[in-house]
Amino acid sequence: QVKIDLDRAERTEKLQGMGCKRKRVEDIRFTQGKGSYVDDLKLPGMVFGDFVRSPHAHARIVSIDTSRAKAMPGVIAVLTAADLKPLGLHYMPTLAGDVQAVLAEEKVLFQNQEVAFVIAEDRYIASDATELVDVEYEALPCIVDPFKSMLPDAPILREDIKDKMTGAHGPRKHPNHIFEWQIGDKQATDDVFANAEVTIKEMLLDHRTHPSPLETCQSVASFDKVKGELTLWGTFQAPHVIRTVVSLISGLPEHKIHVIAPDIGGGFGNKVGAYAGYVCSVVGSIVLGVPVKWVEDRMENLSTTSFARDYHMTTELAATKEGKILGMRVHVLADHGAFDACADPSKWPAGFMNICTGSYDIPVAHLAVDGVYTNKASGGVAYRCSFRVTEAVFAIERAIEVLAQKLSMDSAELRMKNFIKAEQFPYQSALGWEYDSGNYHVAMQKAMDTIGYKQLRAEQAEKREAFKRGETRELMGIGISFFTEIVGAGPAKNCDILGIAMFDSAEIRIHPTGSVIARMGTKSQGQGHETTYAQIIATELGIPADDIMIEEGNTDTAPYGLGTYGSRSTPVAGAATAVAARKIKAKAQMIAAHMLEVHEGDLEWDIDRFRVKGLPEKFKTMKEIAWSAYNAPPPNMEPGLEAVNYYEPPNMTYPFGAYFCIMDIDVDTGVAKTRRFYALDDCGTRINPMIIEGQVHGGLTEAFACAMGQEIRYDEMGNVMGASFMDFFLPTAVETPKWETDFTVTPSPHHPIGAKGVGESPHVGGVPCFSNAVNDAYAFLGAGNIQMPHDAWRLWKVGERLGLHA
C-alpha cells in the first residue's frame, strides 16, 4: 500500500496540476527580454503615425492647416476629421452606447484630444511634423467640476448630441447629462431611513486615476490590397471583440480581419476599449497600402486613454443603536469626461456598482447613479476590478467605519454583526445579485487572530493617550476592509458587450504522442495564463503541464472569446477549459475500454490513466490512449482527441477577503508608513498558490498607489496635472510595503473546478483598507472624513486643519 501511495504521489507531482506552485513558464522569455510586444514588430515598408493634440480642454476649431507638415521631408500623409468624415469614421462607437470623436471635427473637448494624425517614414519625423500642423482654436469655458455639469448656465459640451434627450441608457436631464440609473426599492429604503435610530451620510470620493500599465497602448495595421485582408496587431485585452468592432465599423468581412494580440505588458482595464490610434493606423494602412504603426508615449497614455474611477458617492447607512444595519442609500455622481467610453457590459451603465451592499446582510437598499460629461478624457474603465467594484467596496467599507464611529463601536465587531452568514448562501442581495458562496465570519476571525487585533487596538489606545500628552508625534491607524468581489462576467442574461453574450472558450487538442495545444478566448497581460490553464488540463487529463502549450490572442486560431478583464479568465475560460477537458476524457474512456477489452463502466480514473476497477495493474495512460485515438480508435469512432467548449457561466463568482493595515503617520510631515499589511483572500479552489500570491502582491501595490497618491487631477482650466511619472505616483519597490498573504478556501458551487477569480480582489479590498487606516489614525482627533489620495502633502494639510502643527 505504501508503495502504491508513493507511486500515486509521484505521478501526481509529475503532472504539476492544480494546487501546485508551478513556476511561470512565460517568465523564461520575459526575464530574458525575449517577450514579443507590439512595438517589437518590424514589417517591410512600415511607416509610423503620431497625433496632433489639443492644448485646450474646450475650444472651437477655427481652422486646421496641414500644408507645412505635409511639406516636411519624410511625411507621407496627414489625416484630419475632414478625411475621415466621408468614410463615416470621424466618430467611432463606444462600448457604452455613445460615440467618440476619432479626430476632433469642430470642437475639442479635453486637453490632448486627437486633432490630426501625421504619418511619416519614421517615428521621429512624425513626431516633429505634428508641430507643423497649424490649428487655430477659439477657447471656450470648460467644466472640470462634475457638480457644475448640470447647472442651468453650464456650457454645452457635446454639441453633436445636444438635442438628443434620450441616450443609450434612457432619458437625459440636461445636455451634459449622460444617464440616470436606479436600482433597488426606493420607497422601502426611504421608509427605513425615516424611522432609523441611527443614520450616517458621507460624500466619499473615489478620485480619478489611471491604470497606467507599463506598456502603453499601441497597434500595427497592415492592409493587403490584393487579398482585401487586414491584419491588426495590438495591445488588446479582448482581441475577438476588436475584430468584430473593426468589421462593423469598416465594413470589411470579419473573416478577412486577423487580430493578433502578442505579449502584453499589463492592461488593468486600459486595453479593453477602442482608441483613435487603432482607427487611424487602420485607415492609414488602407489608404497607403503599407503597414502603419502607432505607439503611445507615456503622457498620451495617462492623459487620453481610459481613466478610472471619478465616482462621487454620497453614501448613507441606517442602523439600530446596537449596530444592526437596516438599509443603505447611495447616490453617485459619475464624471465620465467628454465621451461615455466606459467599458461595462451593455446593460450596466455604472458597472456592478450595485454590489455596494458588500459583505453585509442589508435588507433594503437603493442606488442611483447620474453620469455627466466634463472636459476631461473619456473612459471609466475597471482599473483592476470588475466593473466599478472597487468604487462599490470603497463606499460600503468606508461607510462601515463612519457608522462604527458614530455608534462608538469597534468596526470589526460591527462587521461581524452584519456579515451574511454561511448558511444564508446562496444569498440574494437587496440590489439584485445572488452571491454563490462565502464564509465571512471564519475568514474575519482567522485574520483578526493572526494579526492580534485586540493587542493592536490596546496599543493604539495607549498611543493615542501618549499623543494627547504630547509624548509622541506619531498617529497609529488600523485599517480594515472586508470585501466581496463579483467576477466572471458573465451570464448571458446579465452581460453582453455590443450584443455579444459574455461567454468564453477553450479548445484542447491532444496530439498522437500525448502532448497538447490548447487555445482560449482570453488574453493574458501578465497574469500567467500559459502556466495556469495548463495546470487545469494537467489535473483533468493526467498529462504533465510541461507537455501542454497554451496559446491566446490570435483570432484566426483561438476560439471566439470575450477576453480578459474583470478577473473573468478563471471563472469563465477556466471553466471552459475544464469542460472541454472532460469531453476529451469521456472519449478517452471509451478508447481505453476498447483497448482493455472491458466495458467503459468497469474503468475508473486514476491521476493519469484509466484502470480496471479492482485490477489496478490493468490500465491505459492518457498518453497511450492518445496514440490509439489516432491509430486504432474503436470501430465507428472518429479518430482524433480534441474538444472545444464555449462556456456560458450560470452565475458570477464572489471571491472575498479580510484585509488589515497597520499604519503609522507622522503628523508633522504627513508621511504615512505601512507597518504591516495582512491580506486573507478566498478565491475558492486555488489553481496556483504562487501565482495567486503574485496577483495579490500586484493588486495590493496598485491599491496602495491609488489610496496613497496616484491621481489624474485637472486645474480649473482643464489642464491635466499628473500625466507623467514625475507627477503620477507609480510605486516602486522602494515605496511598496511588505505584504503578508493568507487564505481560506470556499469553492464556488457552480464552477466546474470550484474556482473564483482573484487577480483583482487585492486591489478592490486594498484601496478602502489603506484609506480606513488613514482615517482611523486621525479619527480620535475629530478629523471627520479624509478623502483620498492620502499623499504626505494632503495629510500634512489635515494636521494643519486640526491645529496639530507647532
* Of positions 149, 429, 688, 710, contacts ligand CDP by CB under 6 A: 688
Count of CA atoms in the C-beta half-sphere (13 A) of 568: 33
Among 692, 769, 783, 795, binds ligand CDP (CB under 6 A): 692
Distances 388 to 17, 145, 678 between C-alpha atoms, Å: 33, 20, 24
Among positions 532, 621, 628, 674, the unique one binding ligand CDP when judged by CB under 6 A: 532
Residues paired with residue 682 on neighbouring β-strands, in sequence order: 656
282 or 392: CB nearest ligand CDP: 392
| Binding status of residue 528 toward ligand CDP by CB under 6 A | yes
User: Cβ closer to ligand CDP: 448 or 687?
Assistant: 687
**Are the CB atoms for 336 and 169 separated by under 8 Å?**
no
Asked whether position 17 contacts ligand CDP by CB under 6 A, the answer is no
Segment lying near ligand CDP (by CB under 6 A), choices 72-80, 166-174, 528-536, 610-618:
528-536
Determine, following the binding rule CB under 6 A, whether residue 120 of this chain makes contact with ligand CDP.
no
Residue 684 Cβ vs ligand CDP, minimum distance, rounded to whole Å: 5
Q: What is the DSSP letter of 254?
A: G
750: contact with ligand CDP by CB under 6 A: no
Q: Which is nearer to ligand CDP, 398 or 756 (CB)?
A: 756
Interface of this chain with ligand CDP, residues 566 to 625, rule: CB under 6 A? 567-570
Q: How far is the CB of 158 from ligand CDP (least distance, A)?
A: 33
Per rule CB under 6 A, is residue 20 in the interface with ligand CDP?
A: no
Q: Which residues are catalytic?
A: 237, 384-385, 760
CA dihedral 231, 237, 241, 243 (to 10 degrees): 0
Shortest distance (Å) from residue 699 CB to ligand CDP = 10
Nearest distance, CB of residue 672 and ligand CDP, angstroms:
29
* Residue 272 Cβ vs ligand CDP, minimum distance, rounded to whole Å: 12
- Closest distance to ligand CDP from the beta carbon of 226 (Å): 38
Under the binding rule (CB under 6 A), the answer on residue 755 touching ligand CDP is yes
How many other C-beta atoms can be found within 10 angstroms of the C-beta atom of residue 85?
A: 14
CB of 568 to ligand CDP, least distance (A): 5
Q: Is the peptide bond before 327 cis (omega within 30 degrees of 0)?
A: no
Q: Nearest distance from residue 563's CB to ligand CDP, in Å?
A: 9
Measured over the CA atoms of residue 238, residue 242, residue 244 and residue 245, the dihedral's sign is: positive
Which triple of cell numbers denotes residue 183?
A: 436600482
Neighbouring CB atoms inside 10 A of 361's CB total 17
Of the ranges 160-168, 249-257, 258-266, 684-692, which one interacts with ligand CDP (CB under 6 A)? 684-692
* Interface size with ligand CDP, residues (CB under 6 A): 23
Which residues in 261-310 belong to E strands, given as ranges?
Answer: 292-295, 307-308
* Binding segment toward ligand CDP, per CB under 6 A, in 210-218, 311-319, 389-397, 677-685: 677-685
Pairing of strands 177-184, 198-206: unpaired
Residue closer to ligand CDP (CB basis): 61 or 241: 241
Count of beta carbons in the 10 Å neighbourhood of residue 67: 10
| Minimum separation from the CB atom of position 529 to ligand CDP (A) | 5
Closest to ligand CDP by CB, 506 or 625: 506
Round to whole Å and give the CA distance between 286 and 295: 18
Contact status: 237 vs ligand CDP (CB under 6 A): no
Scanning 81-89, 585-593, 628-636, 691-699 for contacts with ligand CDP by CB under 6 A, the matching segment is 691-699
| Residues in 641-660 that interact with ligand CDP by CB under 6 A | none
SS3 22: coil
CB nearer to ligand CDP: pick between 371 and 684: 684
Q: Is 243 in the site for ligand CDP (CB under 6 A)?
A: no
Please report which residue ranges of 408-543 form alpha helices under DSSP H: 411-418, 440-451, 453-468, 529-541
Rounded to whole angstroms, the Cα distance separating 275 from 305 reads 7
SS3 string, 389-402, reads: HHHHHHHHHHHHHH
490 binds ligand CDP (CB under 6 A): no
3-state SS of 503-536 is CEEEEEEECCCCCEEEEECCCCCCCCHHHHHHHH
For ligand CDP, which residue of 196, 691, 707, 779 counts as binding (CB under 6 A)?
A: 691
Q: Distance between CA atoms of 52 and 112, rounded to whole angstroms? A: 8
SS3 content of the chain, % helix, strand, coil (to 5): 30, 25, 40
Q: Which residues bind ligand CDP (CB under 6 A)?
A: 527-529, 532, 564, 567-570, 683-688, 691-692, 695, 755-759
